[in-house]
Amino acid sequence: MTSAPALDGILVIDKPAGPTSHDIVAGVRRALGLRKVGHLGTLDPMASGVLPLVVGRATRLASLFAGADKEYDARIRLGLVTDSYDITGTVVGGSDAEGVGSVPPPAADEIREAAAAFVGSHPQRPPLVSAKLIGGVRAYTLAREQRRVELAPVTVTLATLSILAVAGQQVHCRLVCSSGFYVRSLAHDLGERLGCGGCLETLRRERHGRFTLADAVPFAALMEDGPTAASRLLPMHGLLPNLPGVVTTATGAQRVSHGNQLGPADLAVSKEPLSAPPGGCVRVMDDAGHLLAVAELRRDGLLHPKIVLV
């Protein structure tokens, strides 16, 4: 009886609104019968969409995906301010706090003008109810215990922000932002700039780095038939297409598996020169195309394995 092939790679989940990212990871572990499953960045419980999970040996590559930009479809509710900066929180202010529609909403042109000021790189204060660490404790834990929370602004980038529609107090938009950007904070800050208050009503992540909804498996489908849905796993050899690669000889493959550095004699002859700068990362593959390691190119021309995958 042959054993099932190892599951190593990235599984992109289409997360539904409701469960936490940790709930999704736990469910995938059960569905696939694996322990080594992690995520590349959380989505708030109220958010849905692209949640890439690293599976098996790919968990060792997670750090290489840090800093990826994200694309979102969002709806902002003007007139309400909440403690979490989203619609699930407790209302603490806003022009509609005493009654829906009590104050006329800002005009669409005013909203667009105010929104445009957020495009670019600016300091942004994270929501008090967030996963930011303060002295080793999550900010949301401190907030729930009604303890004083001080979160310093962090410089983030909003690359694009398109207002798709304005309907009453609801602003429908699409945005591309840097890692660490809080769309909840954008909703809160936009409402503050307009003078009416605001919070995030819905959020759907459409892209995380190179991973899109086209790559994603609905979470419910994975729960119903894990092995079949797992066929959508993106394999190891195709995960880092932007890094230059080298192919080892048989001896080189053995050396890199033990974490030894590689020299010219350990590499198969290539027609293309290695395009990585000194200190850059390089994919190390065998002649069958399997990803063996990610190595750093040293100034002396040697490749020093940083992440060994075999």
What CA–CA distance (Å, rounded) separates 215 from 228?
15
DSSP bridge pairs for 75: 172, 202
Q: Quick one: which of 232, 179, 198 has its CA closest to 87? A: 198
Q: Is 260 helix (H, G, I), strand (E, B) or coil?
A: coil
Phi/psi for 176 (5° steps) reads: -120, 130
Reported as type and span, the H/E element at residue 177 is: strand 170-177
- Antiparallel, parallel or unpaired: β 48-55 and 245-247: unpaired
The count of other CB atoms within 10 Å of the CB of residue 203 is 22
44 is catalytic: yes
Q: How far is it, in rounded angstroms, from Cα 56 to Cα 213?
A: 22
Catalytic residue among 44, 86, 189, 266: 44
Six-digit token string for 142: 């401190």
Per-residue DSSP letters for 8-67? -EEEEEEEPSSS-HHHHHHHHHHHHT-S-EEESS---TT-EEEEEEEEGGGGGGGGGGTT
Neighbours of 68 (CB within 10 A): 16
Which sequence positions are flagged as catalytic?
A: 44
